[in-house]
Structure 1
Amino acid sequence: MKDFISFMEKAWWRYITEGILEEGIREEIKESWKLCREYGVDPFGGVGEILDEKSMKVRLKENEELISVAHPIMEDIYRQVTGSGFLLVLVDKDGYLIDRIGDENIMGETRKLNFVEGALWTEEAVGTNAIALALRLDRPIQLVGAEHYCITHHMATCSAAPIHDEKGNVIGCLDMTGLKEEAHPHNLGVVLAGAYAIEKQLALMRSHKLIDATFDSIHEGMLILDHNFVVQRVNEIALRILNIAPKEIIGRHIQSFVDFDIIKEVLNQSEPYYDVEGAFYSKGRKIPCRINAVPVMANRKTIGTVITFREERYVRNVVNKLAGFRAYYTFEDIVTQDDKMKKVIETAKKAAKSDCSILIEGESGTGKELFAQAIHNYSKRAKGPFVAVNCASIPRELVESELFGYEKGAFTGANKKGKPGKFELADNGTIFLDEIGELPYEVQSKLLRVLDNHRIVRVGGTEEKKLNVRVIAATNRNLSEEVEKKNFRNDLYYRINVIKINIPPLRERKGDIELLAKVFVDRLNKYNNEQKVLSESFIKRLKDYHWPGNVRELQNVINRAYYLAEGEIITEDYFPENIERKNCEEDINVTAVLPFDVIEEKNIKEALRLAKGDVVKAAKMLNLSRATIYRKIKKYKVNLKELSSLVETK
């Protein structure tokens, strides 16, 4: 080593004085010396500048994680070399010293060279040194004596190794500096092992942070139990749902918080349970949830259990969105220029701001569901579900279970897990009971009870569930007459008839016929990218007709004429043959008019045929909601598969 030190001192002097590089100098040292000369580094200097206090604080903050991981490792290494005169230094990716450990006398001596926190140790700043080369070359390196470019560093030996992140990027450097007489190859091995340990610890820390972040970012409550079912870990969502602090649940048996039978079944069968209806108990509060329980296995033994859960109301909201339980229409979708209709809309808007039950009366096709959806979207419940129920389409024996749900095993053929009813699905939103006059008399009393106390009991169950549901009912019957006939309960009638909205038939607002017809054509043009218009003769035929099927019938007639018309003008030739023009005299009866149901069925089938069986497209053509067209498909027993195959053969 002495011979090497002597050789390098002579070689360095010759390069500094004559610019000649001797054979035997390492290539990386030659390259670095040349760079230092280009940079104009003073070979007789080598004392770099130090960052100001403010800039140093910023740099320490940027490297907070690196320092926190590296410092304990540096302390471990230093314990092995204490008393040998070495100093351990941590440098960031730019070459700034951010941490150091060493003997007091060594620390004092190095301050003379500004080898302290905040100093920059690049080649351009202080000449050739191990730190700069390790960062630039991205490999470990050891320098001894005169291999340093600046004479002030010739007394030292430096061993440095780069530190990488998980992607292989250089994020810093670990350096070990001492007197050149103490130089030994194992110094570099010690530094390399230290840098490797820092990298592994960083990767482990980030892995833990990733796991922690994942654990806390899961949109479900999560509990991790040991083999004795004691809670070992809990995420933020679980704490929020249960409204407790970590110390109130960690270390406690899960039986204190949930129905333990579910967990025991998982243990006994060593198989996971998914989407089980259950409840958590916290601070005297029962929290209905959907629970998943998964055993953790090792050597064919259960060593723990992972429980995830969501509040039932949250699950219902998700299901409602997926099932399309939402209102699509607003008051802006109700097209009118009729003063009477405008007053009805104003009344509906005022009603929407309250939580009162609403009864919408009107003939078939006047747009009762359109009004119900608009009221929902105008109310404070707009973000909640909108669940529409056609009371006439539910089999009599299933009405109660459809409305109020049922528990598992409630009756033969029931879902094994039970099923929530439409009222539960509408929690925090609106339930629209269309054709409420068709509701069986025996169910009416149960509905009245729900409206009175806002609680339901599932079929086959005993537990009451409190709900927050706004009821909008609709009928094309005269309910007061039905009450007199004993077909409808008097008390229920007054309970739902807090605010009544009566939609006038289309024949009483003649001015809307042409307006609505043109709106329907415009929508079809936009959908089909065409420019069709109605002829004056066609419009006259529309105005002369009395529209027993109201707006729905008008729309169906427009749809039919639109798709049959070959040119851009929709003439009276495309007015349905089954509809005769009504005489101008109001007292003359209309003849040869097909029942509205027949017209509606034909239009629905035609729209589905044109849409090639796509229900959503057909619904847009007919300006119907998805829920409504599915009800019509069911009502008219439309075979979609048969319809699709018919389209394909054509």
Structure 2
Amino acid sequence: MKTILEDIQQAVMRYAKIISKVLKVEVEIADENLVRVAGTGVFKNRINKSMLGEGYVYRTALRTGIPQIIKKPGDEKLCLPCPKCGNCEEKFEMCTPIKLGDDVIGVIGLVCFTDEQREYLMKDFDAYMEFLQQISEFISITAYERKEKLREQTLLKSLNLVIDKMDRGVIILNKKNKITHINKKAMEILNFIDNHFIHEIQIEEIGECIVDMHEYKLNINNQKFYVVGNIHEMGLNENQFDKIIIFQDNKRFKDIVTGVSNISKNIVCDDILGECERMLILKKNLKKIALSSSTVLITGASGTGKELFARAMHNEGSRKKEPFIAINCAAIPDALLESELFGYVKGAFTGASSSGKIGKFELANRGTIFLDEVGDMPLYLQTKLLRVLQDRRIIKVGSNKPVDIDVRVIAATNKNLVKLIEENKFREDLYYRLNVIPFNIPPLRERIQDIKILVNSFVDKYTKLLDKQFSSIHIDNEVWEVFYNYSWPGNIRELENTIEFMINMLGTDGKLTLDTVPNSVLSNERKVKESIREICNLKELEKNEINKALDIYGYSTQGKKAAAKKLGIGIATLYRKIEEYNLSK
């Protein structure tokens, strides 16, 4: 392995020539192993030769780190081991060590072979000695720079090996913003093929911060690429390695951030279980409206699968390759909901991230946003949502700059929005903006014929999930009777939870019996049966409905006309029924 002076031999030889010309003496420079790396005059032909058999003075300088001066070569104590002792042709010799930190890495030797050389050197000895020490320092600096360069090259080589194994894209740039290294993952993300020559790159930061990463537009050879990542200054004294960009594909990263899994992406209309007439009509309509960009309002009781339908609408439409972003408006505190929906700029409020935040609407750009439980949105935010739906622009918290968006909105609620409007808890104009395409999902009690399909699907799911090893599961008829008679207030979610419980309770015989049915379902099923027995006769039902209509519309002539119209009977029939049931006020 080369010593550090051997590695900078060309520079050392130049310094040797400079010393020789200035001091008019012969110069030789040896490394720490006493190998001559430079020489002038008689030493010129002895370069790269070992001096172990003759360099006794140099050996002392290397060992002690102290300059040595031999005024009478051949007669000094240091010369005694030398084979030329007593018969030396040299007239004067001196040397000074070359240091790198605390280590001595070589020695510079000056040799006079004539009295004229000796007299010239001794004439201004102190000044020449200082000059020699300065040259020693220059060589030391050159050695240090070379050592640092070798170290950095080793580090960079190791760095390149590491980044080539990374699962993120990495591009290294020089000081002129040209690519000097690009890893395999980066080429895959950018669909880049040719990396055999240096490419110019232009970088533009766009958008806001996403989980402490920024959006960039990269322009490489007039091709545009959109990525999410960070740019780091490398801080190396090396022109070829100035900056490093670590990034991921923009769309893929947004999918990860929003928790969109492959399973949820693949949900389409045919994945929704149900074969009753109402469900078949719903699925048929779903495929129709999926191709539209109009806003949809999905209504239905909790647990009916509103998000499932929303995802199917997205995946059946033209935006299926773009993001689907879901947010539950009831699950986020009012104070945070605005920033979650629209994002914020840095410094927007106390505790805000210094790099800002991108909101769900911006994440969903070109795709679909699903606003679940929209009926729980506070009134002040309803106003802002209305503006977004009208203008197709958002304004981040703490900013006045509008951001254009192209997002399809699907909203959902289990509440009666008309009633909330009457109570001044929901904006009427927002309701009409959301309810462009109404989509109502029936509760499970209104699609009893689908229970068997759903149960079989959940049984299959949880026997696999809970590792229940049965070739088939038998469900007793009594269990089916309970399921058909129960009202299922929690809808499909409650049915699924019930099946999960029953599979956990499953015995070694592989049978689902009444013993495995949750008590909450059994007891409520009995109450349903009892309520069914308390059937009102038709006259009672008619009386109650007429009475209800009159309470709503009033007993005036106009009120009675409106009530008769709502009941679907003539005004004369209504008067007769009022008299029959004694309903006059």
Structure 2: distance between partners of 1:418 and 1:449: 22
Distance 1:302 1:443 in 2: 52
**Residue deviations 1:289-330 (CA, integer Å, cap 9, x gap):** 6453333455x5777522537698436435347664953532
Structure 2 CA distance for partners of 1:307 and 1:544, relative to 1, 3 Å: same
| Number of equivalenced pairs | 356
Deviation at 1:471, TM superposition (A): 1.3
Task: Name the counterpart of 1:490.
Answer: 428
Q: Please tell me the residue identity of whatever aligns with 1:570.
A: L
The separation in 1 between residues aligned to 2:458 and 2:252, in whole angstroms, is 38
User: Deviation of residue 470 (structure 1)?
Assistant: 1.7
Indicate the residue corresponding to 1:500 in structure 2.
Answer: 438
Unaligned runs of 5+ in 2: 1-156, 207-211, 536-585
Closer, same or farther: CA 314–373 of 1 in aligned 2, 3 Å? closer
Q: Offset at 1:535? A: 0.4
CA drift of 1:352 comes to 0.8
Kindly indicate whether residue 512 of structure 2 is the aligned counterpart of residue 563 of structure 1.
no
Specify every segment of 5 or more residues in structure 1 that has no aligned partner in the other structure, as ranges.
Answer: 1-207, 261-273, 590-650
Q: CA deviation at 1:350?
A: 0.8
Q: Does 1:224 align with 2:173?
A: yes
Provide the secondary structure at the position in 2 that maps to 1:393.
coil
SS of the residue 2:400 aligns to: coil
Instruction: Give the match for residue 522 of structure 1.
Output: 460
Contact 2:473/2:512 (8 A) holds in 1:
yes
CA distance in 1, matches of 2:480, 2:429: 46
Query: CA separation in 2, counterparts of 1:515 and 1:278?
Result: 48
Q: Is the 8 A contact 1:402 1:422 kept in 2?
A: yes
Query: What is the percentage of aligned positions where both structures have the same residue?
Result: 37
Secondary structure of the equivalent of 1:456?
strand
Aligned partners of 2:382 and 2:427 also within 8 Å: yes
Give how far 1:336 is off: 1.5
d(CA) in 2 for partners of 1:347, 1:584: 37
Show the counterpart of 2:517: 575
Q: Which residue identity lines up with residue 553 of structure 1 in the other structure? A: E
**Would you say 1:419 and 2:360 are equivalent positions?**
no
Query: Residues 576 and 424 from structure 1, CA distance in 2 versus in 1: closer, same or farther, beyond 3 angstroms?
Result: same
TM-score normalized by the length of structure 1: 0.48
CA RMSD of aligned residues (A): 4.2
Residue number in structure 1 paired with 2:482:
541
Residue 334 of structure 1: aligned partner: 272
Structure of higher CA gyration radius: 2
Find the counterpart in structure 2 of residue 444 from structure 1: 382
Contact 2:234 2:244 in 1 (8 A): no
2:407: which partner in 1?
Answer: 469
Q: What is the DSSP-based 3-state SS (H/G/I as helix, E as strand, rest coil) of the residue aligned with 2:454? A: helix
Aligned partners of 1:225 and 1:438: how far apart in 2? 53
The residue number in structure 1 matching 2:245 is: 308
Question: Structure 1 residue 281: deviation in Å?
Answer: 9.0
Give the Å deviation of 1:357: 1.2
* d(CA) in 2 for partners of 1:470, 1:339: 28
Q: What is the correspondence of 1:39-188 to structure 2 with a 5 Å cutoff? A: none
Instruction: Give the Cα–Cα distance (whole angstroms) in 2 for the partners of residues 486 and 330 of structure 1.
Output: 37
CA distance in 1, matches of 2:389, 2:246: 30
Superposed displacement of residue 538, structure 1: 0.8
Matching residue's letter, 2:456: K
Corresponding position of 2:256: 319
> Could you tell me how far apart the structure 1 residues matched to 2:248 and 2:387 are?
26
Query: How far 1:442 moved relative to its partner?
Result: 0.6
Q: Tell me which moved more, 287-296 or 342-351.
A: 287-296
Change (3 A) 1:588 1:308: farther
Identify if the C-alpha distance between structure 1 residues 400 and 296 changes in structure 2 by more than 3 Å, giving closer, same or farther: closer
Residues 1:352 and 2:294 aligned together: no
Find the residue that maps to 2:230 and give its secondary structure.
strand
Tell me the distance in 2 between the aligned counterparts of 1:322 and 1:553: 25
| Alpha-carbon offset, residue 221 of structure 1 | 8.2
- Following superposition, the deviation at residue 572 of structure 1 comes to 1.8
CA deviations 1:181-228 (Å, max 9, x no partner) are xxxxxxxxxxxxxxxxxxxxxxxxxxx9xx9xx99x9975847232xx
TM-score by length of 2: 0.52
Encode CA deviations 1:117-172: one digit per residue, 9 max, x unaligned. xxxxxxxxxxxxxxxxxxxxxxxxxxxxxxxxxxxxxxxxxxxxxxxxxxxxxxxx
Which amino acid in the other structure matches residue 475 of structure 2?
L
CA 1:323–1:225 in 2, change beyond 3 Å: closer, same or farther?
same
